Amino acid sequence: MTVKVVDAPEAHRYEARVDDGPEVAGFAKYIRTAELIAFVHTEVGPAYEGQGIGSALARTSLDEARAAGLQVLATCPFYAGWIARHREYADLLYQNRSKVND
């Protein structure tokens, strides 16, 4: 089984397909700015659960975020958990650097 992940910017999501099939096996919705990409929702079709589709989506999208110099805001529980288990991506996480005046 081959999983191909592509950015579908018109739909604001990364899409995963299996073995070059036409069906979207899973997707990761995002909101992107010039400096940040926020992953807000990830979904994998029931027929594809447990086959590494979510991991392929996370790895590909985070590698592309790194290459583009984007910080990552993982509001999606799947992305937050995936990054927590794959610490090599922790440096991408958005860090709020503003100070609140007391």
Provide the CATH number for the domain formed by 3-87 in this structure. Answer: 3.40.630.30
Question: What does residue 12 show for φ and ψ, rounded to 5 degrees?
Answer: 55, 50
What is the number of other CB atoms lying within 10 angstroms of the CB of residue 85? 9
Annotated domain spans of the chain: 3-87
**pLDDT at residue 66 is higher than 90:** yes
Residue labelled with tokens 């096996």: 25
Give CA–CA dist 68/50, Å, rounded: 29
* Confidence at residue 19, expressed as pLDDT on a 0 to 100 scale: 94
* Confidence at residue 95, expressed as pLDDT on a 0 to 100 scale: 86
**pLDDT at residue 101 is higher than 70:** no
Provide the phi-psi class of 84: left if phi over 0, else alpha when psi is between -120 and 50, else beta. alpha
pLDDT single digits (tens) 13-65: 999 999 989 999 999 999 999 999 999 999 999 999 999 999 999 999 999 99
